Every structure is written in C-alpha cells, then in structure tokens.
C-alpha cells in the first residue's frame, strides 16, 4: 500500500520538465544593424517577435526535479530529487522515464500525458488531474517548471510539496562551426562524445548516513571522465558545516545511447544515475544508495547535482 502511495505521489510530482529545439530550424545570430531612425531592423526584430507552440517541444530532454515533501498524510516528509528523460512528440503528448530518491526511498517511474504551449512560451503539463505550469527559455533549449496540485485542490501552508524542475535538450544545438546541428534527427551518446573534464555542483540532505552528520550537504568538484567510462572525482564537500575534501573514482559505468548512464563509486558503492544533455557537454545526476541497501524513507542521502564541461 505504501509503494502505491509513493507511486501516485510521484505521478503527480514529475510533471514539468522541458526543453526543445525543432530539428532543421535555422538559427541565425540577430542582426543588430540600425536604420537612420536608430531603430533595429531585419533579423533582430524578427527574433524579438518569435513565438512558441507545441511544436517547440519535440524530442528527448534530460530532466532534474528537486524539492521537499512538506506534509502529506500517510507519506513521510523530507527531501526529494529525480533524474530522467522526457520525450515530446511536438503535437501535445509526452512520455517520461525517471528515477526518484524520495527521502531515501527509491522509485523507478514512467509517466505520460499531454502538454499545451501558449504563444508567449508559457504552458502546462497535464497527467490525469495533476498539472504543472512551465516557461520555455531560449526557444526551447531550457525549460523551467513548478509542480502544482491537481485541478481544484488547494493545500494550506505547511502541507503538500515544494518542487521545481529544469529540463534541457539532450541533443546539441550547434556544431563547432556555429551552424545548426543537423547530421541526424536523433542524437546518440557515445563514450567519446561525453568524455571530458566537468565542473560539478551538488547539493542535498544527509538523512542518516554515519559518519556524515545529518543535515544539508553541498559539494563542488572536478570530474574527469575518460572515453572508457571511468571517472575521477576531486572536490570539497560541506556536510552540515563539516568541510571534507574528497577524492574518489567511479567504475562500472554503463552509458546508453539515449544519454543515460549508471556508475558505481569505488569508495562506498553508491550508485550515480546520470543523463547527459546539450550534446554531452552537461549532465544531471542523482545519487542512489549501494545495491542491497535498505530501501526505506529516512535513511541514506538525497543528493543531486549538475555538471558542465570545463573545456568545450
């Protein structure tokens, strides 16, 4: 019964992560030339006049959700984070697959629904009664969302959830020459195109994971990922005020062509779920407990973050 409640909860929470650029659309730098009256002309005016539609969202996007469950009867309160992929068909329908760490309880979820987009680049995702408002940024290269409640449901202060979401296009926007990437309509990740050095920021909450003190956690690290799928992590972490330098490696990396990957930390067996975005130059990640660890709320760490390539 508890698992059903958790599954229903995250069916409501996962709604809102978005990103897109329509393949084959020409992208030209705005023309800032001015006429004799001092007003912008040409492409610059047309860029300011661009609008959005459901077709703006088409293809696969990496998604990251993070926030807090405040107080829902029958569901323990605590931090939550999710990482996964959402795919839009460009006609108002979407499907998603994602992994969630809900206060130490791990869920694998799939969700589908519909979406609407206004001409001003705001919109809404719907799955059953659940809904999530969104705003599309940079012609769909990035989308921000806030998890809302089902239609007609209002929660008082101190109850419900506080969840935000960000989505980024998995495929790259441009190639090295600055023109639209149009080699293929589907971008596939390989060890070669995701290898590199990344700056990684991570944050979350230690629930109950000795010897680390319970409380908020923050990390900044440099990750070197080679084309064999092995990574080296060097960074500094703050566990509830305790500053700890960390050096670690990850092995057993499994990179899928859809740009998701799974790796195992050498030091403690923790599992890293990752989705690469923007052509492999950025990623979202979610930390999971080691294989075989108890899957119960209130234990372990809820830890997530983002990485960005240091050298393009």
In this predicted model, what pLDDT tens digit does every residue of 2-50 receive, in sequence order?
444 444 344 444 333 323 322 223 333 334 334 444 444 444 444 555 8
Look at 217 and 44; give whichever has higher pLDDT: 217
The matching CATH number, chosen from 2.40.128, 1.10.3470, 2.60.120, 3.30.450, for 191-309 is 2.40.128
CA atoms within 13 A on the CB side of 248: 19
Answer yes or no: same fold for 2-23+53-169 and 191-309. Answer: yes
Q: Is 70 exceeded by the pLDDT of residue 259?
A: yes
CA dist 57 and 94 (Å) reads: 9
Look at 190 and 72; give whichever has higher pLDDT: 190
Model confidence band, residue 97 (pLDDT cutoffs 50, 70, 90): very high
213 alpha-carbon distance from chain centroid: 27
The predicted structure's pLDDT at residue 2 = 44
According to DSSP, residue 72 is labeled B
Across the range 177-187, mean pLDDT stands at 53
The matching CATH number, chosen from 2.40.128, 3.90.1570, 3.30.420, 1.10.10, for 2-23+53-169 is 2.40.128
Q: Is 70 exceeded by the pLDDT of residue 131?
A: yes
Q: Is 1 exposed, middle or buried (0-12, 13-18, 19+ CB in 10 A)?
A: exposed
Other beta carbons within 10 angstroms of residue 169's beta carbon come to 25
Across the range 277-292, mean pLDDT stands at 94
The predicted structure's pLDDT at residue 68 = 92
- Does residue 274 contact residue 161 with C-beta atoms inside 8 Å? no
Across the range 286-300, mean pLDDT stands at 89
Of 4-8, 68-72, 162-166, the least confident: 4-8
Q: What percent of the chain has pLDDT over 70?
A: 79
Ordered alpha helix ranges (H), 14-84: 43-48
Domain edges within the chain: 2-23+53-169, 191-309
The model scores a pTM over 0.85: no
Other beta carbons within 10 angstroms of residue 63's beta carbon come to 27
Look at 57 and 33; give whichever has higher pLDDT: 57
Look at 9 and 169; give whichever has higher pLDDT: 169
Q: Is 80 exceeded by the pLDDT of residue 292?
A: yes
The predicted structure's pLDDT at residue 158 = 80
The predicted structure's pLDDT at residue 152 = 73
Return all residues near 97 (Cβ < 8 A) that are at least 6 apart.
84, 85, 109, 110
């Amino acid at each position: 019964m508890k698992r059903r409640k958790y599954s229903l909860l995250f069916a409501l929470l996962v709604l809102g992560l978005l990103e897109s650029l329509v393949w084959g659309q020409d992208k030209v730098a705005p023309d800032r030339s001015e006429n004799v009256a001092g007003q912008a002309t040409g492409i610059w005016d047309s860029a300011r006049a661009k609008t959005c539609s459901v077709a703006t969202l088409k293809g696969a996007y990496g998604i990251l959700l993070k926030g807090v469950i405040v107080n829902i009867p029958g569901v323990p309160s605590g931090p939550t984070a999710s990482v996964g992929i959402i795919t839009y068909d460009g006609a108002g329908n979407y499907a998603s697959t994602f992994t969630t760490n809900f206060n130490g309880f791990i869920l694998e979820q799939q969700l589908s629904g519909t979406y609407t987009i206004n001409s001003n680049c705001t919109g809404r995702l719907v799955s059953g009664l659940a809904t999530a408002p969104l705003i599309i940024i940079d012609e769909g290269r990035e989308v921000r969302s806030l998890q809302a409640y089902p239609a007609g449901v209002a929660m008082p202060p101190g109850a419900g959830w506080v969840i935000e979401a960000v989505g980024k296009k998995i495929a790259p926007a441009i190639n090295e020459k600055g023109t639209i990437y149009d080699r293929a309509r589907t971008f596939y990740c390989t060890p070669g195109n995701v290898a590199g050095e990344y700056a990684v920021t991570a944050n979350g909450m230690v629930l109950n994971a000795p010897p680390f003190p319970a409380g908020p956690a923050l990390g900044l690290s440099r990750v070197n990922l080679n084309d064999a799928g092995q990574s080296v992590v060097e960074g500094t972490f703050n566990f509830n005020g305790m500053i700890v330098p960390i050096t670690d490696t990850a092995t057993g990396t499994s990179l899928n062509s859809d740009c998701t990957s799974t790796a195992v930390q050498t030091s403690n067996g923790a599992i890293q779920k990752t989705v690469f975005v923007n052509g492999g130059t950025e990623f979202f990640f979610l930390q999971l407990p080691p294989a075989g660890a108890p899957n119960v709320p209130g234990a372990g760490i809820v830890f997530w973050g983002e990485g960005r390539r240091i050298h393009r």
